[in-house]
Amino acid sequence: MYPEKNLHEAYARQLDEQDDLKRFRDEFYLQTGKIYLDGNSLGLLSKRAEKSLMELLETWKTFGIDGWTKGDHPWFYISERLGELCAPLIGANPEEVIITGSTTSNLHQLAATFYQPKGRKTKMLADELNFPTDIYALKSQLEIHGYDTSHLVRVKSGDGQTLQEEDVIAAMSEDVALIVLPSVLYRSGQILDMKRLTEEAHARDILIGFDLCHSIGAIPHALSEWGVDFAFWCTYKYLNGGPGAVGGLYVNQKHFGKKPGLAGWFGSNKEKQFDLEHDFQAADTAGAYQVGTPHILSAAPLLGSLEMFHEAGIEKIRAKSLRLTEYMMMLIDAELSEYDFKVANPSEAAKRGGHIYLEHAEAARICKALKENGVIPDFRSPTGIRLAPVALYNTFSDVWQTIQTLKAIMQEKRYEKFTNTRDVVA
Rg from Cα positions in the chain: 22
Q: Is 419 part of any known ligand binding site?
A: no
Q: How far apart are CA 145 and CA 354, in angstroms?
A: 37
Phi-psi region of 269 (alpha: psi -120 to 50; beta: other; left: phi over 0): beta
Per DSSP, 336 falls in state S
Q: Is 108 part of any known ligand binding site?
A: no
Q: Is 378 part of any known ligand binding site?
A: no
| Secondary structure of residue 60 in the 3-state scheme | helix
Q: Is 221 part of any known ligand binding site?
A: no
Q: Is 103 part of any known ligand binding site?
A: yes
Q: How many CB atoms lie within 10 A of CB 343?
A: 16
Q: Is 131 part of any known ligand binding site?
A: yes
89: closest CA among 233, 281, 280, 188? 233
Q: How far apart are CA 109 and CA 188, in angstroms?
A: 27
Q: How far apart are CA 2 and CA 176, in angstroms?
A: 48
Q: Is 235 part of any known ligand binding site?
A: no
Per DSSP (E only), the strands in 86-206 are: 97-99, 123-127, 152-155, 176-182
**Which residues does residue 380 pair with via DSSP β-bridges, in sequence order?**
384
Q: Phi then psi for 28, rounded to 5 degrees?
A: -110, 155
Q: How far apart are CA 244 and CA 218, in angstroms?
A: 19
Q: Is 115 part of any known ligand binding site?
A: no
How do beta strands 207-211 and 230-233 pair?
Answer: parallel
Q: How many CB atoms lie within 10 A of CB 389?
A: 26
Please check whether residue 284 is in contact with residue 269, taking contact to mean a CB–CB distance below 8 angstroms: yes
Q: Is 293 part of any known ligand binding site?
A: yes
Q: Is 104 part of any known ligand binding site?
A: yes
Q: Which amino acid is at 17?
A: E
Q: Is 114 part of any known ligand binding site?
A: no
Q: Which residues are annotated as a binding site?
A: 103-104, 131-134, 211, 214, 236, 265, 293
Q: Which residues are annotated as a binding site for pyridoxal 5'-phosphate?
A: 103-104, 131-134, 211, 214, 236, 265, 293
